[in-house]
Amino acid sequence: MNALQLNVSAHRQEQLAILGKALMVTFLLMAVYAFLTHFAVASTTDEFSTVSTKFEGWVTGSLGKLAGFVALAVGSVVAAVKKDWSWFFGAVVLSVGVGIIVTIINASFTATI
């Protein structure tokens, strides 16, 4: 391997590390939010349905669409400037992934054994 290949490989690893940290922080914030809202509405009879409905409305409504659009716009700009399409595809995965995560969370709370 020459020095240029090593530099490109190190740069790619650095970008993956940044993306990994961003995803971990996002999931951590979602978990903290879910944990705090669980105790915030614990005095009602149906603890989670109101908060779950509101959160699902945010993600699938105008706020979620705006966040997905902003992620795609930023990913497109960074991909065009750096000529690295992994930023664009990362934004697509993040935009679509949030919608899928909400569906999985709702299914896990409504599942019966």
Please name which of 64, 70, 60 lies closest in space to residue 91, comparing C-alpha atoms: 70
Distance CA 93, CA 60 (A): 16
**69-108 tens-digit pLDDT:** 888 888 888 888 888 888 888 888 877 877 777 777 767 7
DSSP 68-104: HHHHHHHHHHHHHHHT-THHHHHHHHHHHHHHHHHHH
Would you place residue 51 in the very low, low, confident or very high pLDDT band (cuts 50, 70, 90)?
confident
The torsion angles phi and psi of 48, rounded to 5 degrees, stand at: -100, -15
**pLDDT, average across residues 42-68:** 72
pLDDT of residue 20: 83
pLDDT of residue 83: 83
